[in-house]
Chain A
Amino acid sequence: MAQHSAKGHGAAGDHDVHGGGHTHGSFKSYTIGFLLSIVLTIIPLVVVLNGMLERTGTIIVLLVTAVLQFIVQLLFFMHLNEEEKPRYNLMTLILGLVIVLTIVLASMWIMAYNGVAH
């Protein structure tokens, strides 16, 4: 979020905006992001509360909708796609995600084969 182009907004672009470099986003893009998030929250809720799918299917739907909502927040609310090169925000995000996924998936993997605790 260090550097941004001013694309994707109307009147605010003509404004003398300084400090922070945030001049992005429009009412439309925030509202689309909000509506998408609501839909992506309701889908897993309906699936889980009505028991519509078996276990594996439910887990897949839950994870896919959560990741999609994460992407919606990144694009429509945090404006990650409006960053200019060099994309340091994106790079640090990817570094963080690699670390998080390694911690979570490797913990699950190693504990699934933990012969001591079980």
Chain B
Amino acid sequence: MAQASAGAHQGHEHGHDGHHDIESMRTFGFWIFLITDCILFGTLFAVYIVLHGNTNGGPTADELFAMPGIIASTFILLTSSYTSGLAVLSMNKGNVKGLIGWLIVTALLGASFIALEVTEFVHMVHEGATIGTSAFLSSFYTLVGTHGLHVSLGLVWMIAIILQLSRRGITSVTKRKVNVISLYWHFLDVVWIFVFTIVYLMGVM
């Protein structure tokens, strides 16, 4: 069945005007942006890995990191990656309500992730661990903060798409936008896997 529908889909694609191709080229363009974003995070990871031992007499990773909050935010972001996938599934079934519903769930999970991260940062600054304390903390705040900024930007963007979907429904343009933000969201989860592993787990082991 999957085979047959794949064939049918194929025929449909070829019979189309150029519109479909433009939307898929835009999705591919976004994929290339994500790869460049990977390189950005790669450089920040390199800086963190090189500098994480240079604590300048200040607090070390082991003393600072509160794992319960980090574990909670890891599972929250992981779940939001899953729910953004469920949003795409609803969209492919033509279910606008399901699509918007799952996007709202994803945005709420993303907002709780950011809330936990801000709480963590405020707590650390209160303990005297600011971005200027040591090379370790400068690279830590830059790396984790850049990821947090990406998630915050994704939230604003997702809310804009939810509003657009509620007005225009599922069109070829809104469809591409949902696909693109879903890719972006999975990408942020992938980056977080490495933040969680390299910064937090290796920091407290």
Contact = CB atoms under 8 A, between A and B. Distances in A.
B147 to A, nearest CB: 15
B49 A104 contact: yes
Contact of A62 (B6, B8, B86, B201): B201
Contacts of A58: 205
A118 to B, nearest CB: 10
A19 B2 contact: no
A45 B201 contact: yes
A23 B35 contact: no
A78 B202 contact: no
A19 B175 CA distance: 6
3 closest residue pairs by CB, A with B: A19-B172, A13-B5, A100-B42
Interface of A: 1-3, 5-23, 25-27, 30-31, 33-34, 37-38, 41, 44-45, 48-49, 51, 55, 58-59, 62-63, 65-66, 69-70, 73-74, 77-78, 88-89, 92-93, 95-97, 99-101, 103-104, 107-108, 111
Interface of B: 1-3, 5-6, 8-10, 12-13, 16, 19-20, 23-25, 27-28, 31-32, 35-36, 38-39, 41-43, 45-47, 49-50, 67, 71, 74-75, 78-79, 81-82, 85-86, 88-89, 92-94, 171-173, 175-176, 179-180, 183, 186, 189-190, 193-194, 196-198, 201-202, 204-205
